[in-house]
Amino acid sequence: MHGVAEQSNVEASAPLHQSINEEAQSECKDQITTSDDSPPVIIQKELVMIGAGPHALTLMLRLIEPDPDLEDEKSRHEKMDFLSKMRPMAHVRRHIKEFQKGSAHMLKQKTKRKKSKDGDQSPSIPASFVKENFLVVDASADEPCSLHGWMGHWQKNFEIMEISQLRSPIAAHADPYDHRTLELYAEAQGRKEELIMLPHIPRKYGRWDFHGPFNAPSTKLFRDMHRKLIEAYGVDELVLPGRVKSIQAKKCPTTGSPLYILSIALKGGTRMLVETPRLVSAMGPSPPKNLSMPWLKRVDAAGCILHARDIVPFIQASKQQPQYLPNGLKATKPLDILVVGGGITSAHLCIVGARQGHSVTLAQRSPTLVRQFDVEDVWMGPARGKLLDKFHSEECMVERAKALREARKGGSMNAEMFAALQKNRHVTIQEELEIADVVVIEADDVDEDGRRAHRCLVWFDDGSDPVEFDQIWLATGFTHSVNNTPVLKDLCDQLPFATTPAGMPILNSDLSWKLEQTKDNECNSDGRSSAIEQNETEDDEVEASSNLWIMGPLAGLTLGPDALNLMGARHGAVRIAKSLRNDPLWQDLATEES
């Protein structure tokens, strides 16, 4: 799969779906050329996933597993208190033994075995078919990674920022068979000490509260198990390093369903076209395109600021050449760094900066929000199903978006990280503080090449005297909107995809993007959104599908406030897998194989 760019211009194997019409092909060829002006590579795939992070992996494994866990979130949490309602532990341990061996016969053995009483009866998609007809594209897949291209961005960030444990419970992972797999894998490996007990958080919600105990896995344990899963399910050669530059949507002349034509930039300047009737967007959050701070441009021009996308690469480079600043100048002494933001990322940045000997100030506009997870702990406990019911009962998408923001409440950090910041003598925490203005000044020192660096003179809104900093690191979070994701924004100009006024996609219950006849997504007089015709629940009948499914933070209006995290990855994967596994194409394949 990694050598796909060297194939002929058209994939030799005949596609199973209707080929792209000549008009669409001509349009794409006019726009896209390879580095040597030869015709672009054109291949056909039955399904394409954009992104190879935890969400995409969680879905992919649920498509291949013969007997997957396809429980909805409410049912799963209701059953967790009753062992008799879950899979026998012996079955889960057998599953772990099989995937640890990495045997090519694992899936055959599972297919032959009688499915458990709670197993889904829809057919799995053969791994051999997946290898030939599915494609996963990820720009970070060419990074050195022990996970065969999967979760490359996640692994790089964790390694560079030296994050030793996850901020998620042990039930949140990509294994498609059972939510207890990670816990039992640690037991089988003799690594139970890597299931870290998190301290209790005081009760806030009375009988609704769930404040622990929680266990979170070590980063190494989580990574090791997922490497075994990737190899055992045969998806270790499925990820293509590349960046999707554009997507064109056309209607199939025979079925009337959309066909998606992706332009993918490959390493070395080569581009290729991929045509698919089924598309999954599993991209992570995108930083806002236009930050509103009036001082930003002049500080940016002076090379004194790092945006969210630049911080991790700079930290990586500074570990190899610690004397260099982002603008190429050499530092003659430890830096004074201002980190702006109040979430877990800003906390990790402070620790990393302090570890390198710099003096770090953390400025956040609100008091520090301390909690174990990125949503309130109550969402992780027995009340999860009831909370989701309440969330889905809100029929107006604009109001539901407000409920999302209220549930997440902005950036937060766990108690251990907050304590580490407070104890670190190189870190100063400034709460309820915002930047009022910044002026760029020249530093007193020059580097060995005679060049003079710039510094930032920062005024805060508390009226205090200005403070000098060498660098400002922005860790102010993300805005979840298709307007910040160009390829999805362009799709909205081609087909009538439903969105809220703020750019959040409105999805069917299976996470396929809803198509509508009008672009009016405001709430009607009765409080309902014109883009949604009925209240969405787990049992809703899905409307005519766009065959474009959305995972991750952009699925928040359907999944709830934890759509971004690993719990949301499982929740979304179950919904999409139920839909895709019932596709007539896979049904026909299962009939042929039997």
CB 430 within 8 A of CB 364: yes
> Domain residue spans in the chain?
4-161+222-282, 296-374+411-474
Pairing status of strand 271-276 against strand 258-265:
antiparallel
User: 116: exposed, middle or buried (C-beta count within 10 Å: 0-12, 13-18, 19+)?
Assistant: middle
Q: Which amino acid is at 419?
A: A
Phi-psi region of 40 (alpha: psi -120 to 50; beta: other; left: phi over 0): beta
- pLDDT at position 85: 77
Fill in the DSSP letter of residue 554: G
Angle at 249 between CA 246 and CA 250, to 5 degrees: 145
From residue 522, alpha-carbon distances to 141, 490, 545 in Å are: 39, 21, 22
How is residue 196 written in tokens?
């870290």
CB 238 within 8 A of CB 137: no
Nearest-10 Cα torsion for 172, 174, 177, 178? -10
CB 299 within 8 A of CB 438: yes
User: 288: exposed, middle or buried (C-beta count within 10 Å: 0-12, 13-18, 19+)?
Assistant: middle
CB 581 within 8 A of CB 549: no
Question: Three-state DSSP class for 139?
Answer: coil
From 478, 545, 561, select the one nearest 511 (Cα to Cα).
Answer: 545
- pLDDT at position 545: 65
Question: Three-state DSSP class for 462?
Answer: coil
User: 425: exposed, middle or buried (C-beta count within 10 Å: 0-12, 13-18, 19+)?
Assistant: exposed
From residue 565, alpha-carbon distances to 189, 282, 380, 496 in Å are: 26, 12, 12, 28
- pLDDT at position 5: 34
CB 265 within 8 A of CB 271: yes
How would you label 426-453 residue by residue, b for 16+ Cβ within 10 Å and e otherwise? bbebbeebebeebebeebeeebeeeeeb
Q: What is the DSSP string of 351-409?
A: HHHHHTT-EEEEE-SS---B-SSSS-GGGGSTTHHHHHHHHHH---HHHHHHHHHHHH-
- pLDDT at position 398: 87
Q: What element of type H or E holds 197?
A: strand 195-198
- pLDDT at position 201: 57
Pairing status of strand 435-446 against strand 452-460:
antiparallel
Rg for the chain, CA atoms, rounded: 25
- pLDDT at position 26: 43
**Tens digits of pLDDT across the chain (594 residues):** 333 333 333 333 333 333 333 443 444 434 444 445 566 668 999 999 999 999 999 999 999 999 999 998 877 776 766 666 788 999 999 999 999 887 666 777 777 765 544 444 578 888 889 999 999 999 988 777 779 999 998 999 899 888 999 988 899 999 999 999 999 999 999 999 999 987 655 555 444 455 566 789 999 999 999 999 999 999 999 999 999 999 999 888 777 788 999 999 998 888 999 999 999 999 988 766 557 788 888 888 777 888 877 888 888 877 776 666 665 566 667 889 999 998 998 999 999 889 888 999 999 999 998 888 888 777 777 777 788 888 889 889 888 988 888 888 878 898 889 999 999 999 999 999 999 999 998 766 665 665 667 889 999 999 999 999 988 999 887 788 999 899 999 999 999 999 999 899 999 999 999 998 544 444 443 334 444 444 344 444 334 568 999 999 999 999 999 899 999 999 999 999 999 999 887 766 655 554
CB 237 within 8 A of CB 1: yes
- pLDDT at position 253: 79
The CATH code for residues 296-374+411-474 is: 3.50.50.60
